[in-house]
Amino acid sequence: MGLALVVVGVALAIGSFLGLAAGLEGERVDTVIMRAVDMLMAFPSILLALAIVSALGSGLLNTMIAIGISAIPRFTRIMRASVLGLKTQEFIEAARAAGASDLYIARAHLLPNALAPVIVFAALLMADAVSIAAGLGFLGMGVQPPMAEWGAMLSEGRVYMRVAAHVVAFPGLAIMLMVLGFNLVGAGLRDALDVCLAD
């Protein structure tokens, strides 16, 4: 859970900055950022994380880097879409007419109003981060012993499934409950903030 919190927090910050820059700056900046995002999104998250961990090596830090890099493009796209929708609103035009700079408009108007869908998606992505970390741990490419990790516990316990099923059942149940909990939190936030996510 700590891994998911850190990874999603860092990916949210970087992705929000890139999405804000892509939506606010000119067409050239938008094209460069979004083509890079499209390249990363061409791969499924688990395969991209697996490729990054294969290149960097296993371990906690490399697992966090791999999951974070696979999450940044999605935050970038959501923030960019929000900014593009808000840029044409009357309150932004009024701020421009009053002489506000682009930096002030981004900080005072665009960012606070565009964060709602990003926050909802962050809660949903926590579940994805937990399952990707567990998948990498199961394959032996995630967090390494002596640190406890549910995917690694599943991998080690599958040998004893016939004689001691609880060795596999409890880590699997923990992963399932964690993913379900984050999905329910994300759904609740979506309803509370009245956000429509299209990914």
Q: What is the pLDDT of residues 97-129, one digit of tens each?
A: 888 887 888 888 888 888 888 888 888 888 888
Three-class SS state of 51:
helix
Q: How confident is the model at residue 196 (pLDDT cuts 50, 70, 90)?
A: low
Which contiguous run of DSSP H or E holds residue 15? helix 2-24
pLDDT digits (tens, 9 = 90+) for 136-193: 888 888 877 778 888 888 888 888 888 888 888 998 999 999 999 988 988 888 888 7
Q: How far is CA 196 from CA 14, 16, 191, 193, in A?
A: 22, 17, 9, 9
What is the model's pTM? 0.80
Tokens of 62: 């490399």
Domain 2-193: what homologous superfamily?
A: MetI-like (1.10.3720.10)
In the block, residue with structure tokens 């060795």:
167
pLDDT at residue 198, as a whole number: 47
